[in-house]
Amino acid sequence: MWGCRCRTLAGHAHPHPSERRSGPHATGLRLTAPDGPDGNPLLAYFLDNPGRLLHKWVHYFDIYHRYLAGFRDRPVVLIEFGVFHGGSLQMWKQYLGPQARIVGVDINPACTSLEEPQIEVVIGDQEDRGFLASLRELIGPADVVIDDGGHTMAQQIATFEEMFPALTPGGVYLVEDLHTSYWEEYGGGYRAPGTFIEYAKDLIDQLHGWHARDGQPEITDYTRGIGAMHVHDSVIVIDKHLVTAPEVRMTGKASF
C-alpha cells in the first residue's frame, strides 16, 4: 500500500487538498519559501528534481525545512519509512550533505536496488515490532525519523512506539499523511479510537504529566522524552528531549 498520495495522483481516490479546501492553502502550492531570497532548498530540489521519482505533498516542504535545517552538514542519521522509487532518499542526501547517513525502510524488496553511497535500504514491515527492534539494533541511534510508509493507524503507532526510543535527544520524529486518521480504509474515522490523531492527543496529555493533580495524566517515558509537538496539516513533528520537571519562578519587583 502506498498511501494516499500515490492514490491521489493516480486520480482514483481522494482529491488533492487544493481541490477541496479554501483558505491560505487554497492554491495548494506555496512556491515561495519562507526563509529569504535563497528560498527553500528542498522545494527547489523537488521542483527541478534531477533524480528518482519523488512524491510529496507540496506544503510539506515548508515543514521539512523548518525542522530539518539544523541537521544539515552534520554527521546525522535519517531513517525514512516508505522508499517508493527512492526519490526522497536522494533528496535527503542532497539536502543534509556528505556526512549524512540515509536509511530507507520499505516492505517492497525491489527497493534494495535503490542503494547508493550514503543511502542504505532495509526491507521489512513497519507494523512488525520484531522487525523494528532488529532495525534499531542494525542502525543504532537516529537523529531524524520520517514515517512516510503505508499510513495505516497500526503502522504509524507501532513505528512511533518502537522508533521514538531510537531517536537521539535533540532529534525529531515526523509522521506524515495524518489525514488518513480520518479515512476508514486506513483504520481512521473522525475521533475514532485508535487513530494516530487520537493517539497524538493522548501524547499531549502525557507531555503534561508533571502537572497532574489526581494521578492523571501519569508521568511516562513520553513525559520525560517529548520536548514539543508541532501539529501541521497532515504532519506531526515530535521533538525528542530529555525533559525534567518544570519549575516556575518569579523575578523582578512587585508592581502593587
Active site residues: 151
The distance of Cα 156 from the centroid of its chain, to the nearest Å, equals 10
Give the footprint of ligand SAM on residues 207-246 (CB under 6 A).
Answer: none
Give Cβ neighbours of residue 68 (< 8 Å, ≥ 6 apart). 42, 95, 96, 144, 172
Grid coordinates belonging to 24: 491560505
Question: CA-CA distance, 85 to 66, in Å (whole number)?
Answer: 25
Question: Considering only CA atoms, which of 93, 49, 87 is closest in space to residue 71?
Answer: 93
Give the footprint of ligand SAM on residues 66-105 (CB under 6 A).
Answer: 80-84, 87-88, 105
Please provide the size of the chain in residues: 256
Under 8 Å between Cβ of 173 and 167? yes
Of 151 and 225, the one with the shorter C-beta distance to ligand SAM is: 151
Question: CA-CA distance, 178 to 185, in Å (whole number)?
Answer: 13
Q: Which of 40, 90, 126, 180 binds ligand SAM (CB under 6 A)?
A: 126
Stretch of 43-51, 65-73, 121-129, 232-240 lying at the interface with ligand SAM (CB under 6 A): 121-129
Does the protein bind ligand SAM through residue 134 (CB under 6 A)?
no
The CB density around residue 7, as the number of other CB atoms within 10 Å, is 14
Grid coordinates belonging to 197: 490523531
CA angle 229, 2, 125 (to 5 degrees): 75
Of 42 and 105, the one with the shorter C-beta distance to ligand SAM is: 105
Of 64 and 71, the one with the shorter C-beta distance to ligand SAM is: 64
Q: Which of 19, 108, 202, 204 binds ligand SAM (CB under 6 A)?
A: 108
Does the protein bind ligand SAM through residue 59 (CB under 6 A)?
no
Does the protein bind ligand SAM through residue 147 (CB under 6 A)?
no
Tell the smallest beta-carbon distance from residue 147 to ligand SAM (Å).
Answer: 9
The distance of Cα 247 from the centroid of its chain, to the nearest Å, equals 30
Does the protein bind ligand SAM through residue 179 (CB under 6 A)?
no
Whose grid coordinates read 521539512? 64
Within the chain, residue ranges assigned H as helices are: 4-9, 17-20, 41-47, 60-68, 87-96, 129-139, 153-163, 196-207, 221-225
Q: Which of 67, 68, 106, 235 binds ligand SAM (CB under 6 A)?
A: 106
Tell the smallest beta-carbon distance from residue 228 to ligand SAM (Å).
Answer: 24
Please work out the total of residues on this chain that contact ligand SAM, with binding judged by CB under 6 A: 26
Tell the smallest beta-carbon distance from residue 254 to ligand SAM (Å).
Answer: 56
Does the protein bind ligand SAM through residue 149 (CB under 6 A)?
yes
Residues forming the site for ligand SAM (CB under 6 A): 1-3, 5-6, 54-56, 80-84, 87-88, 105-108, 125-127, 148-150, 155
